[in-house]
Amino acid sequence: MRNGAIADAGESVRALLEQGARPAEGESVPLSGARLLPPVPDPRKIICIGLNYLSHAREQGAQPPETPTFFAKFANALAAPGAEVALPAYSGKVDYEAEVAFVIGARAKDVQAERALDHVAGYTLLNDLSARDWQFKTPQWMPGKIFDGAAPCGPALVTPDEAGPPDAIEIELTLNGETKQSASTADLIHSIPALVAHLSKLMTLEPGDIVSTGTPAGVGSLRDPRVWLKPGDEIEISSPQLGVLRTLIA
C-alpha cells in the first residue's frame, strides 16, 4: 500500500492512522494525473536523528554517539515530491542529506525494541536540507534546519511489508546526475527499533509522527572542495524499496 496523495476531502493519512483505519478501496487515480503531497502533510512531530550512520561519523572523525542525537523540524519545512525549494536568503551554505524516514502508525510510549516495529506504519524518503552556517551558530542545530521547504519528503508512504527489513533499505542521492551519497540502513548506528524505543521513553510518539533516521557519508560540507546548493540544482534521492524523491532548487 502506497499513500502519496489524499483521495477524499477531509481525510488525511494522519487521520487514518489515528483511527487505525486503512484507505477504503475505490476508483484509483493514475499517478501521472495526481498532485502528490508529502505522505503525511500534517504531522504533529518531525524528529530528525543526527550523526546516525557509521560512514558519516567516520567522514568527520567523530565518535559514534552512544545515545541518539536528535533535533526537530516543523511542518513549514515539508515540501512535496517534485517541489521547487527556495534557498533561504540568509545562508550561502545549504547542503543536502539523503535520509530514510519512518512514520509512526500506533501510539508508542515506553516501547521495547522487540515490539517497536509494531508501531511503524511505513517508510519514506526525506531530504534534510541544512544551512550549515546557521546550523553551527549555536550548540543546537535547529537554526539551520527549519527554513521553509527544508524537508522534501516522499514520494509515498511504503508499508513495512513492501519495504522489507528495516536494516536493508537502500538509498542513493544524486546532484545534477552525479552520485554523492549511497548507503543502506544496515549502516545505522542506532537501528529503527532502537530509535522507536529510545524516543518513546522520552516522549509519546503519535500516529503520523515522522522520524528521519540520519544521513550517510558524502554530504557537501565535508567534501573537498565543498559543495553548496545553488539555484537550478536538481537533487534526486532514490531507493529500490521507497521510490524516487526529486527536488529542484529554485
SS3 for 134-201 is: HHCCCCCCHHHCCCCCCEEEEEEEECHHHHCCCCCCEEEEEECCEEEEEEEHHHECCCHHHHHHHHHH
Average pLDDT, the chain: 94
Flag whether pLDDT at 90 surpasses 60.
yes
Q: State the pLDDT confidence band at 21, using cuts at 50, 70 and 90.
A: confident
Read off the pLDDT of residues 201-228 as tens digits, 9 standing for 90 and up: 999 999 999 999 999 999 999 999 999 9
Flag whether pLDDT at 6 surpasses 80.
no
The amino acid present at 201, given as its one-letter code, is K
Flag whether pLDDT at 1 surpasses 60.
no
How many Cβ atoms are within 10 Å of 54's Cβ, its own excluded? 16
Distances (CA, A) of 148 to 89, 192, 249: 11, 27, 12
SS3 115: helix
Flag whether pLDDT at 244 surpasses 80.
yes
SS3 34: coil
Whole-number percent of the chain with pLDDT over 90 = 87
Distance (Å, whole) CA 89 – CA 65: 33
The pLDDT, as a whole number, for residue 24 is 63
